Every structure is written in structure tokens, then in C-alpha cells.
Amino acid sequence: MKLFFHFLLFCFFTLLFNTCSAGNVTYDGRSLIIDGQHKLIISAAIHYPRSVPGMWPGLIQKAKEGGVDAIESYVFWNGHELSPGKYNFEGRYDLVKFVKLVQQAGMYMILRIGPFVAAEWHYGGVPVWLHYVPGTVFRTDSEPFKYHMQKFMTLIVNLMKKEKLFASQGGPIILAQVENEYGTYYEKFYGEGAKRYSQWAAKMAVSQNIGVPWVMCWQEDAPDPVIDTCNSFYCDQFIPNSPKKPKIWTENWPGWFKTFGARDPHRPAEDIAFSVARFFQKGGSVQNYYMYHGGTNFGRTSGGPFVTTSYDYDAPIDEYGLPRFPKWGHLKELHRAIKLTEHALLKSKPTTLSLGPSQEADVYDDGSGVCAAFLSNVDNKTDMNVVFRNVSYHLPAWSVSILPDCKNVLFNTAKVGSQASVVKMVPEKLQPSVASQCKGLKTLKWDIFEENAGIWGVADFTRNGFVDHINTTKHATDYLWYTTSIIVGENEEFLKNGSHPVLLIESKGHALHAFVNQELQGSAFGNGSNASFKFENPISLKAGKNEIALLSMTMGLPSAGGFYEWAGAGLTSVKIQGLNNGTIDLSMSSWTYKIGLKGEHLRIHKPDRLNRVNWVSTSEPPKNQPLTWYKVVVDPPSGDEPVGLDMIHMGKGLVWLNGEEIGRYWPVKTSKHQECVQECDYRGKFFQEKCLTGCGEPTQRWYHVPRSWFKPSGNILVIFEEKGGDPTKITFSKRKISGLCSLIAEDPMAYKPKPTVHLKCPKNTSISNVKFASFGNPTGRCGSYSKGHCHDPNSTSVVKKVCLGKNECAIEVTEENFDKGLCPGTSKKLAVEAACS
């Protein structure tokens, strides 16, 4: 015990003094060596363009509070190099500012420059213009690609050097990455050029002389000194390609991304903690959560196609910047336990002991008194009691216990001690701006601008047959009009017998609205697993000339895959069925094209360009009307909670606030016939489809509007609605942690600290009510606990006494605090649900 205390003290001082002093970074087979010291690194991915500068300090701080040492980000080439040699490092793309904030927080930075990144980001981060530089093939031994890649990487490296941001210069950057997930899955598409390219990329990176190591993930043949690293849900079994290289996990996925139309992925906190503990148990040295804060794909930056505007990722910090409980809290406790073992882990080689068929201990003990052990049970069903050093330990299935002194269990990955939270989106009506209220306007004033269905202004070009959508728009817009016309004779039978001809369309993607004579006839779309789709809808035709206008849309350019930049989109076949002639094929007819929409072209979402069209004012904006722009001037929502725009009553489109791009909205529902889970069993290997929810629900209802985009009044909200919705039902919603829960079992054998219910409300709020408290054998989940047969009737008053009015409170789960003689022989728990306000 005394020893343990000294040990803790020792760790406390090492923790105190090892905060990120700069220095050259090298490595050996065990770990990175920073300024001469071996270190274990826990890292958190936060992509700077997926939040806003106003959020960066808070996000970085929450990562630090969560026990993280380093922030990791990709560099987003196509956000920086808008056209060849024309660069953007402003606003969300202010990379230097982001890295400096990491440095100011006393944290390390891992910079994955790529510049190919995948990342569910449009075109995998590579600029679209590069595809049109003659002779370019992405990610292989292609001269123009290598030329532009090297030019951009050198630019980024020089920028970091100029600002002295590499650790070797006293900065925070300790690792850099070149390329991304190439070897294992994608190299095979590129034949002989692949190897030449990956070896070239490695050499080119090393020649940049940055004084810190380079990594390549999923690149088993990464040449020395580049370190090959692992990306997966588990990396404990990963072995780098040389015993001289440390074991690095560049992507541990604590959740997964979402696509429009698909269900919500979740990964349980217990399983993430298990994977991380196993990694360090088995000699891991750097572990990065991809993502720790996923954030938002603002504007049209998402890739896929079909990746949602939200990139929440079920990450430890949610899209809006709030810690996700219990995930964030559970991992924080895990990090603390790992840090307490760091000295032992780096000092000695492990001894592996078998404790059972699927149970083992890894003991880091060099005999000098510094000892740490990890006891694991990888059985996916059975809890086990194991004996380690003559002491018996209970090991839940699929869990790791961490013993920083080889005696006492400080943390078990399956025992969640952290509070859970009840998070609400609290609606608040759009309020007319104070300025307009002064003029006597109490109701919202809407301005409307209607787009033409089809060609506006001068047509871009006409040709027989179809062009490729992406080749034509080059991602300057999501929209491309394909228009043609047909003459219907007076003698067509359908005009007499009351039937409707059927329009049959095939498209390579991604989505489509079909108009005939300015009327919307129907829509169709692909999805994240297959962008292609078919459209089949009866249409209204009249005798004489009929205008057919098909609005084809991209929903995020592809972000990965062999030769992904060549994947096409747009129409491949258009036919009409049910005419006297039978089915007529319009595919080779004369088609006239228009790129984008008029409002888009005039950039009327920009405050300084608003009056380039004639808006029509009304207090009753039209509902269910396609191709309509809406504009309204509003006040910010009250308070300071993060804000989402509730678009559940709208169809599909784009939305901006004060000229800032919120993104694509589309509350498309997932199928209710798919399978969803009520409760996710954390035990057993996780895979993306394991714990899905949201069947039959809108894929994305709320769209994050960063607080820093609001002005005190006069905020201009501009919406482009493609197919029809009810704008009067749009609201802001404030994201609030409205309640906290904790369910903790007593453990008479527990070493100090005893199991404790610990509740902490968000800043500036306190516990205003105890909605539920039961010491006994309560059951259920946060928000729906219920009492069991064993219950101390004084539970609520005990908890109230300790917690009411406090921002945070703690109650040890011991009989001493409750009814001493309660239900003898039953092992008891305390469940609490409290409200914060």
C-alpha cells in the first residue's frame, strides 16, 4: 500500500514535468523518443475544417481534460489549394492557428499531411482541378500527380517550419504522415506503378527533413525509416515491419460515419476501452482515436458519396462540442490508468502468463519495485475469476483490468464508472430580428425567389446524348440540368383513355428530381452502398410540346477506392413508356444542359449579393413548392448552448447563415424494415453494422450552426429547397445536457477509492432535482431506471442532501451511506438520475 502511494506520487511528478517539452523525435522498437525520453502517446483526431476556429480552444481543452496527450489531424488539400497555386489558409482552414492552439494547450500534434486523406471528405481531399490536368492519375506513378503532391506537401512542411511547429524546432508536431491507407487495400488496383509510387512518396517525405518521424498507415512495406502503422477497431495483434519500429495505431474508430438513408452507428464505450487497453497491454506505443471529435461536413465538403452533413462519428466529443457521456468519461478514466502504468511499461519487457483458456496477464516488472499488470479476458461471453500472484480477481467477459501496482485494480474496461447524460435538442422558434421588430414587424418576414425548372439564362451547351455529371460541373455545384422536349400527337391513346405514360430513368448517381412542364413528377436517389439508381414514375404529358427537365445532383464526390476520381455520375438512360409507339428512348435525343442554379450562380446566399435577384416578400411563404429560395432575418437563439437547425419539415437542399455554409440538408428516412438494436452488447468483436439505431427515422434532422456564426441581430438565413417543404416549421434547437445518470455497483473488496456515483453538471448549471435514486437492485437505463425488490426508501433523500444545488457531487456506494441492513446477501447498486438547470 505504502509502495503504491509512493508510486502514485512518482507518477504525479512525472506527469507534472513531462508536458510536451520540445525536442527531436526519434524512435526505437518500443516507442517514440521525445527529447531523449520514451513516451506513450494517447492521441485524438480533431479535423480543423470540421469545426470552426471559435470551437477549437474548447475542443482541444476537452481532449486535454479527457486525458489525451496529442491532437491529430489530416491536412485537407482541396480546402487549401483552390486552384493551382492559389491557396486558402483562412477561417476553418487556418492550419497554423490550429496547431498553435494545440501547442498553447501544452499538447503534441500529429499531422497527417497525406495529401490524399479519404476521410469521407469530397474527392479524398485531392483538388478536383488536378483530375483535369492532362495525364494525371491519382495515387500512382503519374508525373503530374506526383508533381502537385510534392509541391503541396513541401508547401505545408515549409509553412510548419516557418512557424517553428515541428518538435525538432520546439513546436508540438511529433509525427507526420505521408499518403494514407494505400498499400493493404488499394495498391492492387494500380499495377506496377503502385510500388514505385509508394516508395517514391516515402522517400519524398523523408527528404523533407522535418526532424520527426514519418508514418504510413496500412503500408506493410513502408521503407525505413518510415513507420508502418495500423488502422482498425483492434490493433493489439499488429506487428510493424521492423523490430526497430514502435507499434502505432493511427486510427481506432470509436464509432463510424453515417450516410443519408442509412442507420446510426454506435460503438460501446466498454469495447473501445477494451481495444485500447489491449493495445497497451501488448506493447502499443501511440494510439489515436479517429475521431475524438468528428464535427460537421460544412457546405459541400462531405464525400462518400452520401456521407451526411453531420460527421458526429459517435465520437467521445459530439458534433456540437459536448462531451459524450459515458464514452468521454470512461476513456478519461482509462487514460489515467494507462498513464499510471507508463513508467513500468516503458521500463521493462512484459511477461505473459496464462490465467485461463482466454485469460492472460501481461506483467511489466523489472524487479526494482516498479510493476504494472494488465489482466485480460477475451472470452466474449463468460466472466471469469482468475488468480494472479495469489490474489483472485473477477474479470468480466471481454474486458481488461489495469493494475498500475500489480496488485490493485484501478480500472476495468467493462465497468463504466462515468456518468451518462440525457441530451436534449430544445426547440426555439425563429425570432424576427430585433431591428425589424422595432419597425413594428412582430412576425417573420420571408423573402422568396423561385428558380426555373430547367434552363435559366443562356444554356451552357446542347448535344445528342448524355455527358458525365462530375466531368461537367467539376464540383462547382451539386446541380446539373439535363433538359429536352418531346412532341405528343393529338392522337395519342393515353390522352383519351386517362392513363399516364411512365418516365424511366437510369442514373449512375447520385440523386434526381424530374420535372415535366415545370411540375415536379418525382425523385429518386442512390445510397452510400450504391450510388446508381433507377427512376420509374407516371408523368403528366399534354398534346404538343412537353419540356422535360431533369435535375441531377451529386451528394459528395467519392472519397476513396481504386481510380475513384474516374467514377462518374449522372444520367445514362431516359425512356418514356405508354405511348402509341410503345416505349420511346430519349437517351440519344438532343439534350440541353445548364450547370447549377441561378441563385447559386449569383451567390445570393452571400449577404453582399442578396439583391442580385428580385425577392418577393411575404409573411406566408409557399409550402411544398420545389426549387424555391427562402430568406429570413432572425435573432440568435437565447443562451449560449450549441445550436442545431431543425429541418425535419423541409425536403432537401442547402442552407446558409450570414453567408456561411451550413451544408446539405435532407431528413430522408431510413428504412423501418432494417434491423436496429435496443441495447448493444459490448462483448465480442465490434464491426460497423453491429450496433445500429434509427430505423424508420430521419437520417439527419438537425444541422449544426456554430454559435460564432451568429451576430447579435440581423442574421440572414438562406435556404434553397429542391422539392418542397414547410419553412414556417423550421426552428433552432439548443443542445443541452439536461440530466445525468449513474448506476454503480458496490464492491466491498474495492481498494480506495470505493465505487462512487459522481455527477457533474455542465458549467453554470447545478443539480436542480433528483428524479430517481435507488440503493438496492434497481434496473434499466438512463432515463428509465426502475426500482427492484430491494430498495432503500431513503435513497432519494440521501442523494438530495448531498447533491441538490451543487454543480457536482459524489456519493460512495457503500452500506454506510444508506441502510446498513438492507437485503442481506444481495449485492447492491446505486442508480441516480438527476436534472441540471
Ligand X SMILES: *[C@@H]1O[C@H](CO)[C@@H](O)[C@H](O)[C@H]1NC(C)=O
- Which residues are marked as active site? 181, 251
Q: Compute the distance between CA of residue 356 and CA of residue 393 in angstroms, rounded to an integer.
A: 12
Cell of 175: 509525427
Shortest distance, CB of residue 248 to ligand X, whole angstroms? 21
- The contact set with ligand X (CB under 6 A) reads 22-24, 168, 170, 211, 261-262, 380, 389-390, 468, 471, 493-494, 497, 499, 527, 529-530, 532-534, 566, 568, 578-581, 584, 640, 684-685, 764, 792, 794, 819
Q: Which is nearer to ligand X, 3 or 9 (CB)?
A: 3
The DSSP line for 596-630 is S-HHHHTTTTSGGGGGGS--EEESS--SS-SSEEE
Q: 465 vs 748, which CB is nearer to ligand X?
A: 465
Q: Which residue number has the CB closest to ligand X?
A: 684
Distances (CA, A) of 185 to 490, 562, 653: 59, 9, 35
| Shortest spacing between CB 354 and ligand X, in angstroms | 16
Element (H or E) spanning 149, and its range? helix 143-162
Cell numbers at 284, concatenated = 502499443
Q: Residue 76 or residue 190: which is nearer to ligand X going by CB?
A: 190
Phi, psi of 514 (to 5 degrees): -105, 125
Taking the complex as a whole, the smallest distance from the CB of residue 475 to ligand X amounts, in Å, to: 13
Q: Is 144 exposed, middle or buried (0-12, 13-18, 19+ CB in 10 A)?
A: middle
Shortest distance (Å) from residue 226 CB to ligand X: 19
* C-alpha cell at position 160: 510548419
What is the nearest approach in angstroms of ligand X to the Cβ of residue 480?
13
Nearest distance, CB of residue 669 and ligand X, angstroms: 11
Nearer to ligand X, 783 or 793 (CB): 793
135 vs 243, beta carbon nearer ligand X: 135
Q: How far apart are CA 288 and CA 44, in angstroms?
A: 5
Q: What is the DSSP letter of 530?
A: B
Residue with smaller CB distance to ligand X, 14 or 577: 577
Which one-letter DSSP state was computed for residue 718? Answer: E
Return all residues near 162 (Cβ < 8 A) that are at least 6 apart. Answer: none
Q: If phi over 0 gives left and psi between -120 and 50 gives alpha, with beta otherwise, what is residue 36? A: left
Q: How far is the CB of 493 from ligand X (least distance, A)?
A: 4
Q: Which is nearer to ligand X, 370 or 716 (CB)?
A: 370
Query: Based on the number of CB atoms within 10 Å of its own CB, is 423 exposed (0-12), middle (13-18) or buried (19 or more)?
Result: middle
Between strands 628-634 and 32-34, the pairing is unpaired
Closest CA to 157 of 169, 139, 140: 169
Nearer to ligand X, 336 or 389 (CB): 389
The amino acid that residue 165 corresponds to is: L
Neighbours of 592 (CB within 10 A): 17
Q: Which is nearer to ligand X, 655 or 757 (CB)?
A: 757
Distance of CA 503 to the CA centre of its chain: 38
| CB contact at 8 A, 410 and 610 | no
Cell of 499: 392513363
- Residues 550/571, Cβ–Cβ less than 8 Å: yes
Please state the three-class secondary structure of 479-508 as a single string: EEEEEEEEEECCCCHHHHHCCCCEEEEEEC
| Minimum CB distance to ligand X, residue 345 (Å) | 20
Collect all residues with Cβ–Cβ distance below 8 Å to 716 and sequence separation of at least 6: 607, 610, 631, 632, 633, 657, 658, 659
Q: Which is nearer to ligand X, 432 or 501 (CB)?
A: 501
Nearest by Cα to 426 from 829, 827, 733: 733
Rg value, the chain, Cα: 29
Which one-letter DSSP state was computed for residue 122?
Answer: G
CA pair distance 375, 535, nearest whole angstrom = 57
Residue with the three cell numbers 444520367: 571
Task: For ligand X, give the closer residue by CB, 768 or 794.
Answer: 794
Report the C-alpha gap between 429 and 648 in whole angstroms: 14
Distances (CA, A) of 393 to 169, 267, 408: 47, 27, 10
Separation between Cα atoms, residue 178 and residue 124, nearest integer Å? 14
